[in-house]
Amino acid sequence: MKKIVKNILIGAGLTVSGTIAVTVSSFILTKKLVGIAMDRKTPKIVEKSRLNVTRNKNMADFVVKMDEAEEKLQNSGCETVEILSHDGLKLIGHYHKCKNAERIILAMHGWRSSWAKDFGIISDFWNKNNCSVLYAEQRAHGNSEGFYMSFGMNERYDCFSWIKWINEVTGASFPIYLAGVSMGATTVLMTAGMELPENVKGVVADCAFTSPHEIWKYVVQDKLHIPYDKARSKYADKLSRKKSGFGTNEYSTIDAMKVCKIPVLFVHGTSDRLVPIEMTYKNYLACSAAKKLLVVPGAEHGMSYIVNSEIYEEAVIDFWKENDI
């Protein structure tokens, strides 16, 4: 992790020294970290970390399965659709219409990922269980417009807009379930704090974090071993507000869960090293609506379905049965 920090500073062209350097380097480093978190363009350091995952023997088989499922979903004949966001961005979705649909899933993918990558593995399960699916491309990802991702802050309004699109197209004749992984899970949980149409029946949130502030603080302190003091936090908040219009702690899944009115199924793997499982516990405890918790032993970040699809599918099917009415 120290090497990562060093590379960030070198990349920023930092050449000053002494007491001034400490202050300057702190601001430059914070600016670079916020850029890595929010800017559309994927930094080389993130690409390198993904390459390391593919070289990990324990993850290699999972990566192959996910790549195959991603390609299959991309070629499954989804209809490409688009809407305008609340702030005027063109957002792209991929609609897979099931012949004998009983419900519709609105799927929101994770940070610096994609609709087909995050949901390729589970798409067959949804299809076999008579689910039409709208796979959204998050803002600043893929073919959707936007320069910055905002860790659920703007994305919750995008999710709401996709709900409206589904109901316009289907006449609000199907139960809708919001499903998300990682940042997508945070997105759907934040959306659940809004006043939603009556046919939105539930949320499945897989490994959600609680807020930009909390996940940034966790990654910076626990993974990069850099102090996330008040000065750094304040500067990160200022940069976030400038890029996205929202501060890092302006809203959270905890805030949303306190006023949530629809059932939530929380999912998290015990071996998640990116988003601590404690964040899902916090979300679960804060939830004022009907709720269930699925903890998957040994599952890393976003891998719960792959590690144990049997218990995952059982939990989701039971969730549908309870709430489709």
CATH code: domain of residue 122 = 3.40.50.1820
Q: Which two tokens stand for residue 54?
A: 């593919």
Is 272 among the domain residues? yes
Per cent of the chain over pLDDT 90 is 83
Instruction: Answer yes or no: is 158 within a domain.
Output: yes
Segments forming the whole domain that contains residue 119: 77-211+251-323
| Residue 36 forms part of a structural domain | no
- pLDDT at position 149 is 98
- Express each pLDDT in 251-293 by its tens digit: 999 999 999 999 999 999 999 999 999 999 999 999 999 999 9
Average pLDDT rounded to a whole number, residues 200-207 = 98
Least confident range of 44-48, 160-164, 231-235, 317-321: 44-48
Residue 81 has pLDDT above 80, yes or no: yes
Q: What mean pLDDT comes out for the span 136-158?
A: 98
Give the pLDDT confidence score for residue 47 in this predicted structure. Answer: 60
- In this prediction, residue 125 has a pLDDT band, given cuts at 50, 70 and 90, of very high
Asked if residue 197 belongs to a domain, the reply is yes
pLDDT-based confidence at residue 95 (cuts at 50, 70, 90): very high
- In this prediction, residue 325 carries a pLDDT of 80
pLDDT score of 7:
52
Mean pLDDT within 208-216: 98
Residue 93 lies in a domain: yes
In a domain, 32, yes or no: no
Query: What is the reported pLDDT for 8?
Result: 47
Best CA proximity match to 30, nearest among 229, 183, 209, 214: 229
pLDDT of residue 312: 98
Q: 48-52, 80-84, 126-130, 303-307: which range is least confident on average? A: 48-52
Given a cut of 90, is residue 202 above it in pLDDT? yes
Statement: residue 45 has pLDDT above 70: no
- Residue 16: pLDDT above 70? no
When pLDDT is averaged across residues 60-88 and rounded to a whole number, the result is 94
Which range (31-45, 173-187, 269-283, 294-308) has the least confidence?
Answer: 31-45
**Do the domain assignments include residue 169?**
yes
Confidence of residue 9 (pLDDT cuts 50, 70, 90): very low
Tally of structural domains, the chain = 1
Within a domain: 11: no
Contact 236, 248 (CB under 8 A): yes
Distance CA 283, CA 265 (A): 11
Write down the pLDDT at residue 19: 43
